[in-house]
Structures are given as C-alpha cells and as structure tokens.
Structure 1
Amino acid sequence: MTVFKAALVQMRSGVDPARNAEAMERLVTEAVAKGAHYVQTPEMTGILCRDRQVFREHLKPAEADPVVAAARALARRHRITLHLGSTAVEAPDGMAANRAFLIGPDGETIETYDKIHMFDVDLDKGESWRESATYVPGARAGLAEIAVNGGAAKLGFAVCYDMRFPELFRAEALAGAEILTAPAAFTRQTGEAHWHILLRARAIENNCFMLAAAQGGLHEDGRETYGHSIAIDPWGRVLAEVAGDEPGIALAEVDTGEVAAIRAKVPNLKNRRRFDAPAPRGDFALA
C-alpha cells in the first residue's frame, strides 16, 4: 500500500513554449507547496498552436526541447515525480509526436508514451480536427512504476482522445496498473458531454485511480478547451476537481490500498472470460 498526494495542474497553454514553461513552473511550484509528491500537467503543455508554420518553428527533438528540459529541472529541484502530460516533439519525415514524459525526482525520464489514437473528427458547428496530419501515432501502451512518498505505485498512460478506447486502459490494468492517467486538451463541446462520464467509466471498469490534468479556456490560437482537471478513485468517486476552465490545481490523496480492496470486492478483472467475437469490419481489429 502506498499513499501520496497527487496534483493535477490545469493550464491554458498558448503559442509560445517559453511562456508555457513559465506557467508550468509557477503551478508546479504551487502544487509542491501544497504537499504534492506527484504532479501531472495537461496534454500539449508546451504549445497549442493551429498555425503550422509557427508550430514547426518551435518543434524540437525531445532531447533539445526546452519544455522537457524545464520539466526535468522542476522534478529535480523539488524532488517530485513530474508527469509532463504531453508536449509536441520532433518525429521523422517532418511530423511530430504527441509525447508524455514521466520524470523522476532525479530529473531523469522514467518512461515516455506517444499518444496512440489521433483525434480526426468533424464535430457540430463546423469544428473539425485532423491530428493525423501533424502527428505520428504511437504504437504501444505504457506502464511504469514510480517510487513515491516511501512507496511504489504502477501507473498506466493515455492522452486525451485515447480515453474513448477502453481496451487501452484494460490492457494496462491487466498488466498491473493501479493508477490510470489521461492528461488532455479536451474540446469544450465534447468535454461538456463526455469528460466526466468517460473518465469515471475507465476508473470503475478497471478498479483504478484516474488522474487527468486538462487544458482550459479560450487559447491564443482560438480553440476552446473544457478544463475540469479531475482525480477519481477506483469506485468512481470524484476526489478533486478544478471547477471550471481557469488555470488551477486539483489536489487528491491516492491510496493504492483502495485498488486492492475494491478489486477484492468486485473482481471483474479476474472474472473476465474468453468469448468468440464477430469478425471486425474493415481495418478494425480486436486487441
């Protein structure tokens, strides 16, 4: 059993990585002052920019990215586990990767995760997104063990749109995850309809904590994100939430002993059974 304080940092990132890094530093420092051992930032902490030319001018390899470097320095300075929810880093062939970084108290990277599912959608009111035009999708789930507050916990990765694909979280839970994560830049339109429902469902069906830091508000590039950074326990109860879309911090106590207790009470992971499934259509495949 491990007990620690988790902080979810809600941001409103813009087009300048340097300013975003400064905002990250202020909020992370505030979270540490409130006792956080683990701090998570949102998807695209480093830059939110629709202008592709400006976006590409700021794109760097991971080892040279200033926001990643700032996150490593923060983790080292405060001796915390810092989960950079994601930032854009250079990938082959002129593309980018939407990459999460889990950084230990020594400032070294424990694990990385590239967002798997691309947000290619046409919403109501003319809102349309094509992430696959900019980003290379990841190809593997992520699981890492963190040493925190004198104990250890196993953490699974996802980013934003990934939360609509329950098989990803189930695979991580079956591999031992006690905590699931879904840092996001959820649109206001989809967030108002689905944010709480999806995240609570992923926590309940896998008997895991869910930690999701979010972007919030009207951004420099014109997009609007939903905010409501949230921590949820394995029973589906909301432990902490930023109530709205302003920058802020949600602070919650995570006790991994609750995961074991709830899995003993409702052992759905153990009760899974194999079954014959209908043949998938088109390019779809069952995990």
Structure 2
Amino acid sequence: MSDAAADARRLRVAVTQWRPTRDVAANLAVATRLIGEAGPGADLVLLPENGLMLGSNTEMRAAALSVDSPEIDELRAAAKSASATVVLGGFKRRDDEGRIFNTALVIGPDGTVAGGYDKIHLFDARIGGQSFEASSVEQAGRRPMIAEIGGVRVGLTICYDVRFPELYRSLALAGAEVILVPAAFTQKTGAAHWEVLLRARAIESAAFVVASATVRGEDGTDAFETFGHALVVDPWGEVLADLGVGGPAWQVLDLALSEVNRVRTALPVLAGVRPQAYAAEPEIIGIG
C-alpha cells in the first residue's frame, strides 16, 4: 500500500445512545430508526449494550433472544436498508442449548449475521447499595474477537470489559485500529470512571475507541440508572465526540486511520510489550 493510500484510509462510524426500557418492541423501534438515520452516512453503526431491553436480571433472562428471532431479523433488514455494518452492542442471546450470553452481534451491510463476540468479563459488583450479578443471568465468553470491516480491524468489547486492559492490549497486538465499547454503565461508576477508562484504553492501545451508551430516564422507573455520554476517543486520548445525557441521539465521525499509525510510530508501545517478562513470578524484596 502506498503512503498516499495509507493516509486516505477512513472508517465512518456512527455512535448512538438512548434510554432503553423493559419494552423490547419500543426499544427495537428506536434502534431501527437510528440505523435508518445514521446508517446511510456510515460504514459502521454501534448500538449500546442492553439497548433492546434494560430490566432486572430476571426480566432480562426472560427476554433473551435467539439470533434467528424476529427482532434480530428487523435489525438485519435495517442494516441492509442502510447498507451499513451494524453492531448490536450487547443483547442477552439464548443459544440452541438454552444458555444465555451477552453478545455483541455483528450484522453486515447485506443483512447477514457475520458473527458475535460473547462478553468475557461479567459485571458482578455491588454499586451504591445495588447488586449486579450478571453471572446469574449469562455465561462468560471465552475468546476475544475482531471484525474486519472494509479492511479495517475493529476489536469488539462490551461495557465492564473496559476495566481489563489486557483484553484491549491483545486486540491492539492483533491489529485492531478501532475498538468498540458499547455499554450500559451505571450512573455512579460512569461519573467517576467512564471517560478516564475509555481514554486510557485508547492511549495504551494507540487506537480509536468508540463507545455507545444508554442514558437514564427522569421518572425513576429504570431498573438501574445509566450514565450516557457515548464517546469517541482518538489514539492520542482526545475526546472527539460526547453525546451527553440526552437521547435518542447519534453522531457520525470520520476516523482517519493514519492517526493510528502516526501515534504507534511516535510512541511504539506495542512493540515494547514483553509478555514473557510479565509472566515471570515477581521478585519480592523485604525492607525493614
């Protein structure tokens, strides 16, 4: 590839956010509308985690969908109509054996399901007096995944994954130039950690980070309050877009992939990774 061709490489991404409820049909209508609005101007539309249903663990387990469900068929039709790749950032997927996973489903611009990433790190935590026991609903995924979209390697992650930098390093070392972080981040943790974590993952990976999000309602009926602020961060750690706390909302950004190469050349962190050294038992020295 010539220098001019390398400099011209682009990926147009649409970042989205909305307030999901327990009404799957209503949430699906929002998702398909945003795909229809943002998709024709984008190569990739990223929908947030739990965008099709945000409820209690029991409610989300009951609302789990199979990949061949009518709801997924509607998203496939919307992706095909917009001629854009759509990533359903995370939905409760029921497999043929009845197991449930939190899956980021990749739908190609022709409407076919290309594959899906099963969330590796499950949100088992107690925040603000509320318990989040994701492992009581879903099973953990077993391997990272990269989607190649128009020749661009795009790493797939979901929400709580963002707290595990080793996953992002593995994606970057495998050639990911853009990493997706669709989320339903809690209000409390989001206010404290959301932006700094996304910027850190972008900086240490020298990659674009695209993070769609869910937002909270004002009537107090949400299963849990989420933070919003869908973000796009560049490889230097600069925030390129922040959708705030409103919704439904979307924004299309043109990611210049030459920026990834520029940063990785100036700061060759990935070339300096020493996995064998890290795997060694740390030496402990006693003082006093």
TM-score calculated relative to the size of structure 1: 0.89
Cα pair 2:10 2:256 within 8 Å, conserved: yes
1:266 paired residue number: 267
Does 1:10 find its partner at 2:14?
no
Find the partner of 2:35 among 6, 23, 28. Answer: 28
2:116 paired residue number: 112
The size of the alignment, in residue pairs, is 272
Cα pair 2:103 2:117 within 8 Å, conserved: yes
Does 1:167 find its partner at 2:175?
no
Cα deviation for residue 80 of structure 1 reads 0.7
Which segment drifts farther, 66-75 or 100-109?
66-75
Amino acid at match of 1:198: L
Deviations 1:161-197 (A, max 9, x none): 0000001111111111010111000000000000000
1:204 paired residue number: 203
Matched residue SS, 1:252 = strand
Amino acid at match of 1:97: F
Aligned pairs for 1:97-176 (under 5 A) are 97-124=101-128, 126-147=129-150, 152-176=151-175
Aligned pairs for 1:13-92 (under 5 A) are 13-32=20-39, 35-50=41-56, 52=58, 54-64=59-69, 66-91=70-95
In structure 2, relative to structure 1, the CA distance for the partners of 1:19 and 1:220 (3 Å cut) is farther
Which segment drifts farther, 177-186 or 100-109?
100-109
In structure 2, relative to structure 1, the CA distance for the partners of 1:132 and 1:93 (3 Å cut) is farther
Matched residue SS, 2:271 = coil
2:277 paired residue number: 275
How far apart are the structure 2 equivalents of 1:15 and 1:236?
Answer: 35
Matched residue SS, 2:226 = strand
How far apart are the structure 2 equivalents of 1:278 and 1:245?
Answer: 47
In structure 2, relative to structure 1, the CA distance for the partners of 1:51 and 1:158 (3 Å cut) is closer
Which segment drifts farther, 206-215 or 20-29?
20-29
Which segment drifts farther, 210-219 or 176-185?
210-219
4+ residue runs over 6 A deviation: none
Gaps of at least 5 residues in structure 2 are 1-5, 283-288
Please tell me the root mean square deviation across aligned C-alpha atoms, in Å. Answer: 1.9
Cα pair 1:43 1:215 within 8 Å, conserved: yes
1:285 paired residue number: none
Gaps of at least 5 residues in structure 1 are 281-287
2:215 paired residue number: 216
Cα deviation for residue 261 of structure 1 reads 1.2
2:286 paired residue number: none
Cα deviation for residue 91 of structure 1 reads 3.8
Which segment drifts farther, 6-15 or 183-192?
6-15
1:187 paired residue number: 186
1:249 paired residue number: 250
Cα deviation for residue 56 of structure 1 reads 4.1
Deviations 1:11-30 (A, max 9, x none): 21111211111011112222
Matched residue SS, 1:195 = helix
Cα deviation for residue 60 of structure 1 reads 2.8
How far apart are the structure 2 equivalents of 1:81 and 1:196?
Answer: 26
